[in-house]
Structure 1
Amino acid sequence: MRAWRTRGPRARATGYPDGEPMRLFLVLLTVVLAPLAHGQRVQYSASPRLFPVWTNDGGDKVIQSDLRASLDASSVVNSTWDGERIRLFGARNEVVGFNLVIEAPLLPLENASVEFNRLDSGLGHVIRSDPAPGQGLFDWTSRPIELFFVRYLTIKGLSKLSYGTYDERHVPERMRRPWTGLGYGTGTWWDRQDHDQAYPEIAVPIELVPHFDVAQGTNQSVWVDVYIPKDALPATYTGVIRIRTGGALLHSIPVELNVRDFELADDPSCETMAVLGYADINLRYTGLPWPNCGTPQEITSKLVRDRHFMMAHRHRISLVDSETSGCNVWKNDAPRPEWLPRLDGSLFTAATGYEGPGEGTGNGVYSIGNYGSWWWKGQGQAAMWARTDGWVNWFEANSPATERFLYLIDESTNYAQTEQWAGWIENNPGPGNRLMSMATQDLPTTLTSTPSLDVTASWMRVGITSVWHNAAATIEADPTKRFYLYNGHRPAGGSFSTEDDGVALRVLAWSQFKKSIDRWFFWETTYYNNYQGGMGQTNVFESAHTFGSHSSFDNIIGETGWNYCNGDGVLFYPGTDTVYPSVSYGVLGPIASLRLKHWRRGIQDYEYLKMAQAKDPAAVATLVDSMIPKVLWEYGVNDPNDPTWVRTDISWSIDPDLWENARLQLAQIIEGP
């Protein structure tokens, strides 16, 4: 037997986790000797007992070396898996996801495949998917069930932008060192449970990897998404997942989906905004960062970008970009033409291959001059008035329901300049005074230094509770103001880092609900060129590190450098990659991250919360307080004279079953009298 891939300091000292070799040896004896005792021959490569399977809802990230079911089948029983069957529930117009885990503890599993394309109500209604070869992956009109082969990324260092390391409790649980008292850690990088482990992250459509191997001593995840159509019956739908090896049936796993008797809205209550890059996408798909107008590369660019919008829409997430995202200079007081179907919802219809949440519903938000890229900067008040008049006139005539704003400046401390620009818009005698101004800065600063600013987007790390509470209450009471938060940072909330807990982005959406945050903003989704870290083009299929520099190795936090971070700026992976062709799948559209799906789970929870709140606000408030007792500024700080730090653990549980139970409680409130 080979040396086992291990976890934890005690395992490293012995070469094996305590008792693991003997337990696995007993599994092997059971599989081998039991048939022989009855005079039977056995095909070991196709024995289901040699390759245990189980599922979870994805909120528990299963690293590739985990062999939980092989060691103790009872340890993997959870809200979606009773040891024999998969049990799910959801509303109409909801996507329910789950993670299938296939383990190969003793022998490699070769030429494996997974099949699942039908759920039957027994009452005449069926949820069924058709095959989707090639570019058909981006036609969802007959594919409510999608399967994804999961790729893994190795975590080699801690994400410095997502949490501090002065208190080990700020670090995701499985990346913590042993700690005592107020989070004081002991040990080194190698004492972190999941150091150098492969985390599940990239959801490659199974059509692109129809057959795969599972190496000995590892597992392989297959993610499944089920979109529950609006015409689904409130009934229990049943189906079967079949796992084969070399064509021979290995496992048949029953699936039950309980469709609840309510429907999620197409227009999400949980408002989001994530930035879609331009040059980075073009380089990967066409080989040119700035293709010329009318060329095949530019036509491909428009197709690929629209498919990003469609995939984001399937996950209930709104995208924004800049007027510079095009083949020519754009100085019109209107979005580029390709934005029209995104805004009016025609991009998200069956005519373009779209089916799912938000069908026929527009993107909902537009950022003018994203990141402060508006072209009339420096031309004075008259130019500001003329340009904002033009933008308001266009939107009121063509897309009045779209939330729009002028993105004045990003993370600037020149508050006098921000206030001047915002004041110009506010005092515009024409229609331009109806355009909101937006900037990224701390919310309390807006009240003291930029009172004319309409939309404040803040990055919440820690803060004095009373100061932030009062500022948020002031903004909430003013119907002309909006408050966004962007990115994420522990312990205030979940983060977007690859190694964060599987429930992290669910926590983020619940926090948005609890504190009445108008919109959650993620700074970039296709950051493939790590120019800010001086690292250049990233092979995102091989490297978890996407942002900041990697300049050294630290014995406590692993690989590190300026703002070193895993997964930051990347929620989509390129379906075609001309920079790293050896990892390219050759499809003209994005491949989703699992973090995109985790965020969707939280966004859909938000819809449950809003619907349940309308029925029983007291019960919902109690449930929210029990799930996230403290978030954002509720933690406070240890030193008001230096309000940049706090010693505390996170307030929420990372047990996905508790979160699924909370969703079930919300469903019961919604369906109640």
Structure 2
Amino acid sequence: MPRALPFLPAALLSALSLVALPEGAAAEGQPERALVWVADDGTRVRREDVGLPLSRGEGNALFRPGEPIRLGALRAEVVAFQVIVEAGAEPVRGVTVELSGLAPAAGAGAPPAAPQQQDQAPAGAAPAQAIAIDRFVEHYVEIKERSRNDQRPLESLGWSPAARPPDDRHLGFLPDALIPVELAPPWAPYPLEVGARETRAVWVDLHVPEGAAPGLHEGKLVVRSASHGELASLELRLDVAPATLPYGPVDFIAFYEADRVAERVGDGSAVEQQLWQLLHEHHVDGFASVRSPAEVERLRPAIDGSLYTRERGYLGPGQGVPPGAVALGAYGGFGDPKEETLRRVEAVAELLPPVDDVMLYAVDEQCESPRGPGWRRLVRGSRLSSRILVGHSCGEVHPQQQDVDLVLTPANRFDSVWARAAREAGKRLWVYNGALPRTGTFMIDAPLTGLMADGWIAATHEVGRWFLWETAFWHDGNRGGKGPVDPFTVAENFHNRDGDACLGDGMLLYPGTQRGRFASRSVGFPGVFPSMRLKSLRRGIQDAGYIALARSASPGAVDALVKEVIPAALDEALDTSPAAWSSDGAPFFEGRAALRALIPAGASLDAAGVRSALAEAAAARRALVPLARPHRAGDEPPADGPEQTAPGPPRRSRATGLLLAALGLGAAALALAIALYRRARPGRGPRGR
């Protein structure tokens, strides 16, 4: 992925912002006794974060001492919060977090009539109309070094220097992996063991079914310990609005390498199917990569939607909804275009269940490669030409000048004018990955609100599908990679030969079982666990559904509200500025509540209605928020002119010119900059990073 040289003034300003607090500063306000408080799902509380203002209700949208916890939800939504247990001068042992079943309060609306025939829930599952409760232990990993580039340490694949999240919130012991309390191992125990002047946390998901009774639901959160008895008893009030959240209002698709998952977790079909169901539960489609009839048959339930039904043990949202896209040979899996290979492609494509987009993924991040155009010529002569889209990833060249049907462009290089022109010319365009300040980032050492913001961005910009390059990247198998890691103890999971090191990149899932040399950190569960980052992405995707529902009734108010929460994103933002949205969860929580208040009673939208509402939202956004660099007439590509490079982040030659003009650097610096410009950068796919 090409990257610009950092603007030096922005880098210096960012460096100044990284000065940590004095060692004693964090200790101010530390309690001498155990304390229980609640945080929203956009906040990450480190193990050492004691005495935060949030614990006193300051800046906390969800919690005030002595008051009930108040949440709102739509039907078919999952809402989440965190219970933080904070020890004082002595440890707190054997802490449990119990939440009684949420029941309609007196006077709340009666539940809708039961259908004539209803599937039986699996043994032990909550009744169909009940609000189900899941609890997870938050597991901490120590962060000693940040995501970075060896030559430019303030820059990483996750952010520009000016947008780098500060060290004083992202070094230390950060929580990310979420392990169900029923499965908690000795090294991430439940009941919790809280060290002196430390915190531990339980993440709580509340699954509001589509048939939930509207109105107020009440429950009680009780926190007890073996060492100190009852620590807290808090009232919980959940207000369920009489409207239904649409499933998957924006399209996020996530790749995983099946062989690598099988190598670490196990090769049984149950492992892979659980991975698909977990992603689906979070409104994310798995991105199947199929190269043979046998692979199609293995993945058929995941592709045709039957895997997401009660008959298959799936109780989450999106019952029976199939994924929107399938890859024929992801990351160039079918190799060079040849007639005999085309026959294999056709044999696989013919067996696929109905799916919106079947993409032959020709090559990854090699804009000059002849593979994409070659495959497109071959497929045009195929009997399946109307079904197969030939695509590749490339962010350097105007999409209209790329001889493929589908262009994947890095989200942080997305250009809305180019994208619109390409679509008007009949091309498809998706985005992938992303980096601050234009989008959120995968990285663990970044605020959770970045991935939350991605849902809002996808709802109000014409990005097509949003592709996530990996979800289970535990093996660091790049050119320049350092080999497999235990993700429960090592956050730095990505390296390449260009000096990039990333924490959590391509790793939204954690292994439930670890075989081989990491077996001592195995939970023994045949599947994968979610991360807090995956939960944050789900929250943003659900928020996109809020935007669609609310905008159908109050478009002007919704457009203004979205602009307030997301002032600038994609090509509305400059890399020389920090991210425009908040790094705190409270503004998102409050914005969501304001959207919920605008949704009419009884509101619901089918997939076509959601697409229409969000297309109108994107059009309104164009009129409301200016681009960071307005286009001129000369920016449009000539019919047969030379290739144009993307006008997003500045090219190395342009950045070098600015640096020289500003600082008068000598010939040696110029030579170095030119060398950096000419250096080929591999892609971020598993075949060519």
TM-score, length basis structure 2: 0.75
Q: How does 1:294-309 map to 2 (within 5 A)?
A: 298=267, 301-309=268-276
Contact 2:281 2:317 in 1 (8 A): yes
- For 2:197 and 2:172, how far apart are their aligned partners in 1? 13
**In 1, Cα distance between the equivalents of 2:208 and 2:464?**
27
**Alignment-derived partner of residue 602 in structure 1:** 540
Q: 2:196 and 2:127 mapped to 1: Cα distance?
A: 35
2:471 and 2:26 mapped to 1: Cα distance?
42
Who is 2:230 aligned against?
Answer: 249
Match of residue 168 from structure 2:
193
Distance 1:171 1:660, change over 3 A: farther
What SS does the corresponding residue of 2:214 show, helix, strand or coil? coil
Query: Deviation per CA, 1:390-439, whole angstroms, max 9, x where unpaired?
Result: 455434xxx324422111111113244322322332x3262324311111
Higher relative contact order (Cα pairs below 8 Å, separated by 6+ residues): 2
1:394 to 351, 354, 359: 351
Match of 1:571? Answer: 508
Q: Aligned runs of 1:339-350 on 2, under 5 Å?
A: 339-350=299-310
- Once the two structures are TM-superposed, the CA of residue 166 in structure 1 deviates from its matched residue by 6.0
Alignment: residue pair count: 562
2:245 corresponding residue in structure 1: 264
The reply on whether 1:530 has 2:449 as its aligned counterpart is no
Hey, what does 2:327 align to over in structure 1? Answer: 367
Q: 1:221: Cα distance to partner?
A: 1.2
Partner of 1:354: 314
**2:132 aligned to which of 144, 155, 158:** 144
Amino acid in structure 2 at the alignment position of 1:379:
K
Partner of 2:25: 17
Cα deviations across residues 435-488 of structure 1 (Å, max 9, x unaligned)?
A: 11111111743212x24x22211113357xxxx23211113435x432211112
1:32-74 Cα offsets, whole Å, 9 max, x none, are xxxxxxxxxxxxxxxxxx21111121212111111135x7853
In the alignment, which residue of structure 2 is the partner of 1:545? Answer: 492
CA contact (8 A) 1:56 1:99 kept: yes
Is the 8 Å Cα contact of residues 252 and 466 (structure 2) preserved in structure 1? yes
Identity of aligned residues (%): 26
| Alpha-carbon separation, structure 1, partners of 2:383 and 2:68 | 63
* Contiguous gaps of at least 5 residues in structure 2: 1-16, 113-121, 185-189, 604-689
TM-score, normalised to structure 1's length? 0.77
Instruction: Give the residue type in structure 2 aligned to 1:423.
Output: R
Residue segments in structure 1 that go unaligned for 5+ positions in a row: 1-6, 29-49, 127-134, 177-191, 287-297, 325-329, 551-560, 637-645
The correspondence for 2:363, drawn from 390, 409, 429, is 409
Pair 1:160–1:513, CA change in 2 (3 A): farther
Query: SS of the counterpart of 2:327?
Result: strand
CA shift digits 1:585-617 (9 cap, x unpaired): 111111111100000000101111122222233
Amino acid at match of 1:370: A
Question: 2:383 — aligned with what?
Answer: 430
Aligned CA RMSD, in angstroms, stands at: 3.1
Cα distance change, pair 443–616 in 1 and its aligned pair in 2 (3 A): farther
Q: Deviations over 1:304-356 (max 9, x none)?
A: 010000111110111124336xxxxx3x3x85212221122211111221111
User: Equivalents in 2 of 1:16, 1:148: separation in Å?
Assistant: 32
State the partner residue of 1:501: 447
Contact 2:36 2:231 in 1 (8 A): no
Distance 1:475 1:664 in 2: 36
The corresponding residue for 1:617 is 555
SS of the residue 2:148 aligns to: coil
Contact 2:90 2:197 in 1 (8 A): yes
Tell me the residue number matched to 1:79: 61
Please state if 1:215 is matched with 2:215. Answer: no
State the 1:147 CA deviation. 0.2
| Residue in structure 2 matching 1:469, options 388, 393, 416 | 416
Superposed, 1:219-230 pairs within 5 Å as 219-230=199-210
Candidates 376, 394, 400, aligned match of 1:441 = 394
Q: Deviation at 1:76?
A: 4.2
Instruction: Please say if residues 112 and 213 of structure 1, whose CA atoms lie closer than 8 Å, have aligned partners that are also in contact.
Output: yes
Q: Alignment partner for residue 205 of structure 1, among 161, 166, 180?
A: 180
Report if the CA contact (8 A) 1:406-1:435 is conserved. Answer: yes
Aligned pairs (5 A) from 1:67-216:
67-68=50-51, 73-76=55-58, 78-83=60-65, 84-122=67-105, 144-160=132-148, 165=154, 170=160, 175-176=165-166, 192-194=167-169, 196-209=171-184, 210-216=190-196
Letter in 2 for 1:661: E
Aligned residue identity for 2:97: V
Which residue, out of 393, 401, 409, partners 1:458? 409
> Which whole-Å CA distance do the structure 1 matches of 2:168 and 2:511 have between them?
31
Cα deviation, 1:170-219, whole Å, max 9, x if unaligned, reads: 4698943xxxxxxxxxxxxxxx3136311110111011233121001110
Deviates more, 1:410-419 or 1:53-62: 410-419
Given the alignment of the two structures, is residue 628 of structure 1 paired with residue 566 of structure 2, yes or no?
Answer: yes
AA aligned to 1:255 is L
Residue 658 (1) aligns with residue 604 (2) = no
1:652 alignment partner AA: W
1:159 and 1:406, CA in 2 relative to 1: closer, same or farther beyond 3 A?
Answer: same
Q: Tell me what 1:648 maps to.
A: 577
For 1:406, the aligned partner's letter is L
1:264-288 alpha-carbon deviations (Å, 9 max, x no partner)? 123x1211111122222122224xx
Displacement of 1:160 in angstroms is: 3.0
Native 8 Å contact 1:240 1:254 kept in 2 = yes
Question: Judging changes above 3 Å, is the alpha-carbon distance between structure 1 residues 344 and 590 closer, same or farther for their aligned structure 2 residues?
Answer: same
- Check conservation: 2:304, 2:354, Cα contact below 8 A: no
**Residues 460 and 633 of structure 1 are in contact (CA less than 8 Å); yes or no, is this contact kept in structure 2?**
no
**Residue 159 of structure 1: how far off its partner (Å):** 1.8
Matching residue within 273, 279, 284 for 1:312? 279
Gap change, CA 1:504 and 1:138, over 3 Å in 2: farther
Q: 2: distance between equivalents of 1:136 and 1:571?
A: 29
Aligned match of 2:634: none
Q: Conserved in 1, the CA contact under 8 Å of 2:395 and 2:413?
A: no
Change (3 A) 1:195 1:312: closer
Aligned to 1:370, what secondary structure does the other structure show?
coil
Match of residue 275 from structure 1: 255
* Cα shift readout 1:542-562 (whole Å, capped 9, x = no counterpart): 011110169xxxxxxxxxx82
Checking the alignment, whether the CA contact within 8 Å between 1:138 and 1:589 is kept in structure 2 is no
Do the aligned partners of 2:296 and 2:348 also contact (CA within 8 Å) in 1? no
Q: 1:402 to 1:11 in 2, by over 3 A?
A: closer
Q: Which SS does the other structure have where 1:457 is aligned?
A: strand
Task: Using the TM superposition, give the Cα deviation of residue 151 of structure 1 relative to its aligned residue in structure 2, in angstroms.
Answer: 0.5
Counterpart of 1:304 in structure 2: which amino acid?
Answer: V
